């Protein structure tokens, strides 16, 4: 946490808070029965409620409430049994009612916490201020016509969770780790798919800078940044801008800014003076949202194992290092894959294979766990051949590459290619003798004290045996002959 | 008995006894509308073909012996209720060409029970007014005139078209809505009955919203019993309205026959205002006397926060309205006045589309919700509102119902009280507390003022105890024997066509 921006007048520390809008996974919208599928033809998933026709009324979707509560529980947050919906009033063409139904004063979820893991292996607890439910707006399409804008209301009324962090983050890396961890938790819970490219997870970033030990200075909000990488870039760009303003004797003014990834800079969208007066007031069409304690308890009992718990279990039960465990649990599919491979096998060896050769193969072939030619059972089969010494470690790598290429099982490849490990000491001794005989000069050097040549002889013997020699037996035989 | 004298209940009886058909009854009212409506402007839209088709279906149902509670009974529908395929204007230029593709829950309930819809009744724009002078489709004329004076009077508002249509015998009953008195005050001005039920009794789904926490639908009709019959069909829990109450709908009509023996009737002393015309005070005392004679006891009670009712109402209602009316922006279903950019499109559309009173309330509402003013106005008004409700909760521990005048005056002339909006707002002084607290309120025609204009008495009851309200209202109605007819009314056009038959 030694990240600072070195200004001309000394170091500046960053203060960062994130507001994440996470689109709730639900079949229908927050207050209407219209569908929520991404990518449908414009204006095909719109009810009269979504289009704010006269006399239409919102009715809360219980499934969306359950998703918000489950997310709150996943953030180890306080669930408010009584919350309320307010209207946030402003005019815009893609906001049909002229107000957004949101939760202003009484959110459904209160304070919680997200533990982030950093590259150096350290962890930090980042406070979550609140989570509230609100409606998404529609989409304005400005590029369809020279003079007109088009409106797509498919997204209007879709449920969003706004998840607000405390200003606890201090570096771009921490902000990135926070978003990744939040996304992991949401995906584990199945409450948001976390796809920032599709806009189902969006981040607003609050940034300020200060001298060490100072109270907070004025912050700026950078709106709607659509990837984790851009969030990190935007924070740095905005912090540098603010440092320059302060050091030039100016004053940072509170405003809303946009990040331009092409130029790597932020620019002003609107100042505080132009800020909307949203005229919040409780939505009279909706009663306060009252949750039954038993219902919340039942949701809690049904939660899946979450990443933090899973990571702790991997450390405890499989004896894995914390960092490796973190890598494995970052994605539920990976964790499940790993556990299938590790079951009844050497758990640490399994972790090394999954995070090593297997991940490398996925990267190289551009596949995912779901589309990979090597299933967890197949990788397990390879590890079994290693464990019962049918093959050695070197051959295993060769077999694995063949598995990636052909999709065949390890056993079949070993059988077809005759890769079975040689443990016949007679054959090994013969190979050792042949190698020693072929390299009298090296043998002499060894005898005169050049111990390092032992490795050379091992390599030559393995080469002579086409890599199939049992490494321990080859070592033993060489030691014996050379002693 | 001629057709124009029929009440809803007697017409229903006549249909069932086959004294006339639903088509004949409907044709009678359509003819009456054709003759009278040009003079009183009670309807914005008349739907004769639809009405006759519904009447034909009603006759078929009657012939099969499958009559519902309202089969074949012609009604007017306040033009605030969305009616599928029929223009719904809310009395506003901005919705002039809006044809909803859906039917409001209340009107759907009426259709389910067999009602025939004659057309859409005029109203103050977006139900904002107490005179029907703010309608974009012209004012409604009260069928009543002052004795010896032909000056056109207002029917009250906002449900002025509904009340005038019923008073002039252009419909057997009508739907209405009441946000601050919009059912009860026009009922009082037009010499008919009207009830605003408990908030949540009728679904608001499909009713163009004015102030969501106050709006409530109810019927106006010639008699208390007719109102009870209509409310029985209109009411009921609706999962599409989150504020709709999960309450069983009792037999309201039966409650009209209960009588008032043993009931304790409260008289709130704060309703005795200094400027109240003596004839209203006299009528009030007379009404209490009638109830006493029928076995009720009269109790003085206090509702100390009454005096804040009107002021808080004119914060809460405009605040909600300013938000509810934001959707009329020219982007979707409303007429659009183009502009150079989006802001100008909004400004032009809303400047052209809304009338002065609506604009005034949007501005008041926007102001009281603004940053820095919210706590002082809206939040404080909501706190006072809670106190007003507490007043009622307290007195209803001791009494079964309250009786007050409905309005501080009889109908006034068109153009009167137009200079100062606040004078107009004072019309709602006795009716607003029922909206602020959600309790039911009924207006019953009880007598005439010195000019021969009708005056109503208001019965207020406990939440979801409309039955007691109907019982008290019916008792007042019986004692009042109000039989005076308005000067403008449907002639007995088709009386000769009544078939000779057993008298009902």
Give the tens place of pLDDT for each residue, A433-446.
888 889 988 888 88
Chain A residues close to B331, C-beta within 8 Å? 93, 96, 151
Instruction: Supply the pLDDT for residue B4.
Output: 64
Work out the percent of chain A whose per-residue pLDDT is above 90: 75
Instruction: Supply the pLDDT for residue A465.
Output: 86
Long-range contacts of B49-55 (CB under 8 A, 24+ apart): B50/B86, B50/B117, B51/B26, B51/B116, B51/B117, B51/B118, B51/B119, B52/B23, B52/B26, B52/B27, B54/B26, B54/B111, B54/B115, B54/B116, B54/B117, B55/B21, B55/B22, B55/B23, B55/B25, B55/B26, B55/B27, B55/B116
Among the three residues A364, A386, A417, which one is the final residue of a domain in this structure?
Answer: A417
CA angle A324, A234, A247 (to 5 degrees): 120
Residue A181, phi then psi, degrees to nearest 5: -70, -40
- Please name the residue of chain A whose CA is at the shortest distance from the CA of residue B366: A279
Q: Which of A91, A278, A279, A87 is nearest to B326 (CA)?
A: A91
Any idea which residue has 């909006």 for tokens? B421
> Does A115 or A442 have the greater pLDDT score?
A115
Q: Which of B297, B479, B306 is nearest to B399 (CA)?
A: B297
Measured N-to-C along each axis, helices B22-40 and B8-16 cross at an angle, to the nearest 10 degrees, of 150
Residues A175 and A316 in one domain: no
CB contact under 8 Å between B332 and A280, yes or no, is no
Q: What 3-state DSSP class applies to B110?
A: helix
Residues A411 and A439 in one domain: no
Residues A402 and A455 in one domain: no
Among the three residues A260, A283, A299, which one is the final residue of a domain in this structure?
Answer: A299
Contact between B144 and B169 under an 8 Å Cβ cutoff? The reply is no
Catalytic-labelled residue, pool B182, B188, B203, B443: B182
Nearest C-alpha of chain A: how many angstroms from B367?
9
- Pairing mode of beta strands B297-301, B264-268: parallel
Sign of CA dihedral B475, B478, B480, B484: positive
What is the C-alpha to C-alpha distance for residues B362 and B94, in angstroms, rounded to an integer?
A: 14
Average pLDDT, chain A: 93
Residues A191 and A209 in one domain: yes
With 0-12 / 13-18 / 19 or more C-beta atoms within 10 angstroms meaning exposed / middle / buried, residue A396 is buried
DSSP A173-213: HHHHHHHHHHHHHHHHHTS----TTTTSEEEEEEEEEE-TT
What is the C-alpha to C-alpha distance for residues A454 and A470, in angstroms, rounded to an integer?
A: 16
- Please name the residue of chain B whose CA is at the shortest distance from the CA of residue A99: B323
What is the C-alpha to C-alpha distance for residues A472 and A460, in angstroms, rounded to an integer?
A: 15
| Structural domain that includes position A288 | 5-299
With 0-12 / 13-18 / 19 or more C-beta atoms within 10 angstroms meaning exposed / middle / buried, residue A379 is buried
Chain A residues close to B378, C-beta within 8 Å? 281
Q: Which residues of chain B have pLDDT under 50?
A: 1, 493-504
Residues A340 and A199 in one domain: no
- Pairing mode of beta strands A255-260, A220-225: parallel
CB contact under 8 Å between B323 and A285, yes or no, is no
Chain A residues close to B339, C-beta within 8 Å? none
Residues A311 and A364 in one domain: yes
CB nearest A285 (choices: B242, B346, B371): B242
Instruction: Supply the pLDDT for residue A273.
Output: 67
Highest mean predicted confidence (pLDDT) among A6-10, A407-411, B383-387, B414-418:
B383-387
Q: What is the 3-state secondary structure (H, E, C) of A53-108?
A: CCCCCCCCCHHHHHHHHHHHHHCCCCECCEECCEEEECCCCCCCCCEEEECCCCCC
Residue B121, phi then psi, degrees to nearest 5: -85, 145
- Pairing mode of beta strands A82-83, A289-290: antiparallel
Nearest C-alpha of chain B: how many angstroms from A115?
36
CATH of residue A465's domain is: 1.10.10.410
Any idea which residue has 């009405």 for tokens? B51
Any idea which residue has 């205002």 for tokens? B273
- Please name the residue of chain B whose CA is at the shortest distance from the CA of residue A91: B326
Among the three residues A368, A388, A417, which one is the final residue of a domain in this structure?
Answer: A417
Number of Cβ pairs < 8 A linking chain A and chain B: 100
DSSP B190-233: HT-EEEE--TTSS--TTBPPS-TTT-EEEEEESSHHHHHHHHHH
- Take residue A267 and report the two structure tokens written for it: 């620019």
Residues A247 and A385 in one domain: no
Measured N-to-C along each axis, helices A307-318 and A322-329 cross at an angle, to the nearest 10 degrees, of 130
Residues A75 and A109 in one domain: yes
What is the C-alpha to C-alpha distance for residues A342 and A319, in angstroms, rounded to an integer?
A: 12
Residue A223, phi then psi, degrees to nearest 5: -90, 145
Contact between A142 and A77 under an 8 Å Cβ cutoff? The reply is no
Q: Rounded mean pLDDT of A332-336?
A: 94
Nearest C-alpha of chain B: how many angstroms from A116?
37
B2 as an active site residue: the answer is no
> Residues of A numbered 276-315 whose beta carbons fall under 8 angstroms of chain B's beta carbons: which are they?
277, 279-281, 284-287
B104 as an active site residue: the answer is no
Residues A333 and A272 in one domain: no
What is the C-alpha to C-alpha distance for residues A65 and A127, in angstroms, rounded to an integer?
A: 22
CB contact under 8 Å between A48 and B102, yes or no, is yes
B319 and chain A in contact, CB less than 8 A = yes
| Count of alpha carbons within 13 angstroms of residue B95, beta-carbon side | 25
Q: What 3-state DSSP class applies to A38?
A: coil
What is the C-alpha to C-alpha distance for residues B268 and B271, in angstroms, rounded to an integer?
A: 6
Instruction: Supply the pLDDT for residue A85.
Output: 98
- Tell me which H or E stretch contains B385: helix B380-395
Q: Report CA Rg, chain A.
A: 30
CB contact under 8 Å between A279 and B242, yes or no, is no
Instruction: Supply the pLDDT for residue A313.
Output: 97
- Please name the residue of chain B whose CA is at the shortest distance from the CA of residue A60: B242
For residue range A213-227, list pLDDT tens digits in order.
Answer: 999 999 999 998 989
Residues A178 and A318 in one domain: no
B78 as an active site residue: the answer is yes
Residues A108 and A207 in one domain: yes
Instruction: Supply the pLDDT for residue B497.
Output: 46
Contact between B221 and B193 under an 8 Å Cβ cutoff? The reply is yes
DSSP B330: S
Instruction: Supply the pLDDT for residue B502.
Output: 37
Domains of chain B: 3-270+281-302+390-497 (3.90.1300.10)
Residues A258 and A398 in one domain: no
For residue range A446-464, list pLDDT tens digits in order.
Answer: 888 888 888 898 898 888 8
What is the C-alpha to C-alpha distance for residues A391 and A465, in angstroms, rounded to an integer?
A: 13
B101 and chain A in contact, CB less than 8 A = yes
> Residues of B numbered 232-251 whose beta carbons fall under 8 angstroms of chain A's beta carbons: which are they?
239-243
B205 and chain A in contact, CB less than 8 A = yes
Provide the number of structural domains found in chain A: 3
Instruction: Supply the pLDDT for residue B115.
Output: 98
- Please name the residue of chain A whose CA is at the shortest distance from the CA of residue B200: A285
Of how many residues is chain A composed? Answer: 483
What is the C-alpha to C-alpha distance for residues A18 and B76, in angstroms, rounded to an integer?
A: 56
- Take residue A266 and report the two structure tokens written for it: 């932020």
Chain A residues close to B81, C-beta within 8 Å? 55
B102 and chain A in contact, CB less than 8 A = yes
Q: Rounded mean pLDDT of A365-376?
A: 93
Mutate to test the interface with B, among A33, A43, A46, A55 (most CBs of B within 10 A): A55
Using 50, 70 and 90 to split pLDDT, how confident is the model at A323?
Answer: confident
What is the C-alpha to C-alpha distance for residues B426 and B440, in angstroms, rounded to an integer?
A: 20
């Amino acid at each position: 946490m030694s990240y600072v921006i070195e200004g001309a007048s000394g170091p500046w520390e960053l203060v960062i808070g994130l507001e994440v809008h996470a689109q709730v996974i639900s079949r229908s919208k927050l207050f209407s029965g219209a569908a929520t599928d991404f990518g449908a033809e414009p204006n095909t998933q719109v009810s009269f409620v979504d289009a704010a026709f006269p006399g239409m009324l919102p009715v809360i979707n219980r499934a969306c409430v359950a998703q918000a509560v489950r997310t709150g529980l996943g953030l180890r947050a306080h669930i408010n049994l009584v919350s309320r919906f307010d209207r946030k009033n402003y005019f815009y063409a893609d906001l049909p009612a002229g107000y957004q139904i949101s939760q202003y004063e009484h959110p459904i979820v209160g304070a919680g916490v997200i533990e982030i893991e950093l590259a150096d292996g350290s962890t930090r607890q980042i406070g979550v201020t609140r989570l509230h439910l609100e409606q998404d707006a529609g989409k304005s399409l400005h590029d369809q016509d020279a003079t007109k804008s088009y409106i797509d209301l498919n997204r209007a009324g879709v449920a969003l969770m706004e998840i607000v962090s405390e200003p606890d983050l201090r570096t771009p890396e921490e902000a990135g780790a926070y978003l990744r961890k939040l996304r992991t938790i949401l995906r584990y819970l199945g409450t948001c798919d976390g796809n920032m490219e599709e806009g189902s997870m969006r981040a607003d970033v609050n940034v300020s800078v200060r001298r060490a030990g100072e109270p907070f200075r004025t912050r700026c909000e950078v709106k709607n940044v659509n990837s984790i990488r851009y969030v990190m870039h935007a924070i740095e760009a905005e912090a540098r801008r603010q440092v320059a303003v302060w050091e030039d004797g100016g004053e940072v003014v509170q405003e809303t800014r946009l990040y331009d990834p092409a130029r790597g800079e932020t620019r002003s969208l609107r100042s505080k003076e132009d800020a909307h007066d949203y005229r919040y007031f409780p939505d009279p069409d909706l009663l306060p949202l009252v949750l039954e304690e038993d219902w919340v308890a039942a949701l809690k009992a049904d939660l899946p194992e979450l990443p933090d718990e899973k990571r702790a279990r991997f450390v405890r039960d499989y004896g894995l290092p914390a960092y490796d465990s973190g890598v494995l649990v970052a994605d539920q599919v990976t964790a499940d894959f790993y556990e299938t491979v590790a079951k009844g096998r050497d758990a640490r060896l399994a972790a090394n294979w999954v995070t090593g050769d297997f991940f490398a193969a996925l990267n190289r072939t551009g596949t995912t766990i779901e589309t990979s030619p090597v299933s967890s059972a197949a990788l397990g089969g390879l590890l079994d051949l290693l464990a019962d010494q049918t093959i050695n470690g070197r051959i295993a790598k060769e077999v694995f590459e063949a598995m990636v290429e052909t999709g065949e099982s390890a056993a079949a490849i070993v059988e077809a290619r005759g890769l079975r490990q040689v443990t016949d000491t007679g054959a090994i001794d013969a190979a050792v003798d042949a190698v020693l005989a072929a390299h009298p000069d090296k043998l002499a050097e060894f005898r005169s004290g050049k111990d390092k040549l032992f490795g050379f002889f091992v390599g030559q013997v393995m080469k002579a045996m086409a890599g199939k020699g049992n490494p321990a037996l080859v070592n033993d035989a060489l030691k014996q002959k050379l002693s | 008995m001629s057709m124009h004298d029929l009440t809803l209940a007697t017409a229903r009886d006549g249909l069932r006894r086959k004294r006339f058909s639903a088509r004949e009854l409907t044709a009678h009212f359509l003819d009456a509308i054709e003759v009278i409506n040009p003079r009183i402007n009670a309807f914005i839209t008349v739907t004769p073909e639809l009405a006759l088709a519904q009447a034909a279906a009603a006759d078929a149902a009657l012939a099969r012996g499958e009559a519902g509670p309202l089969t074949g009974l012609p009604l007017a529908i306040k033009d605030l209720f969305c009616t599928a395929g029929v223009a719904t204007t809310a009395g506003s230029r901005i919705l002039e060409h809006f044809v909803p593709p859906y039917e409001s829950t209340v009107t759907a309930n009426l259709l389910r029970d067999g009602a025939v819809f004659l057309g859409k009744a005029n109203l103050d724009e977006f139900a904002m007014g107490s005179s029907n002078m703010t309608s974009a489709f012209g004012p409604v004329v009260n069928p009543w005139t002052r004795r010896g004076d032909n000056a056109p009077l207002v029917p009250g508002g906002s449900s002025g078209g509904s009340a005038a249509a019923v008073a002039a015998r252009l419909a057997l009953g009508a739907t209405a809505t009441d946000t601050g008195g919009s059912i009860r005050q026009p009922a009082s001005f037009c010499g008919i009955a009207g009830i605003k039920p408990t908030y949540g009794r009728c679904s608001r789904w499909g009713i163009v919203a004015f102030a969501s926490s106050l709006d409530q639908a109810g019927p106006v009709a010639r008699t208390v019993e007719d109102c009870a019959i209509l409310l029985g069909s209109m009411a009921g829990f609706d999962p599409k309205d989150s504020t709709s109450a999960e309450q069983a709908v009792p037999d309201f009509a039966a409650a009209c026959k209960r009588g008032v023996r043993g009931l304790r009737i409260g008289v709130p002393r704060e309703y005795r205002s200094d400027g109240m015309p003596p004839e209203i005070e006299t009528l009030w005392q007379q009404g209490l006397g009638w109830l006493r004679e029928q076995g009720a006891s009269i109790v003085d009670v206090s509702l100390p926060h009454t005096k804040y009712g009107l002021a808080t109402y004119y914060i809460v209602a405009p605040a909600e309205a300013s938000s509810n009316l934001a959707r009329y922006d020219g982007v979707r279903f409303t007429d659009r006045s183009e502009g150079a950019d989006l802001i100008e499109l909004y400004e032009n559309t809303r400047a052209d589309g809304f009338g002065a009173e609506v604009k005034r309330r949007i501005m008041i509402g926007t102001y009281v919700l603004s940053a820095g003013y919210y706590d002082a106005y809206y939040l404080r008004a909501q706190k006072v509102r809670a106190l007003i409700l507490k007043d009622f909760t307290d007195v209803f521990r001791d009494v079964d119902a309250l009786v007050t005048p409905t309005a501080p005056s009889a109908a006034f002339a068109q153009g009167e009280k137009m200079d100062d909006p606040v004078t107009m707002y004072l019309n709602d002084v006795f009716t607003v507390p029922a909206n602020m607290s959600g309790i039911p309120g009924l207006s019953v025609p009880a007598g005439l003022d010195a000019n021969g204009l009708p005056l109503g008495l208001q019965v207020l009851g406990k939440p979801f105890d409309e039955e007691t309200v109907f019982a008290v209202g019916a008792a007042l109605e019986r004692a009042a024997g109000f039989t005076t007819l308005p000067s403008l009314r449907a002639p007995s056009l088709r009386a000769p066509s009544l078939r000779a038959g057993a008298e009902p």
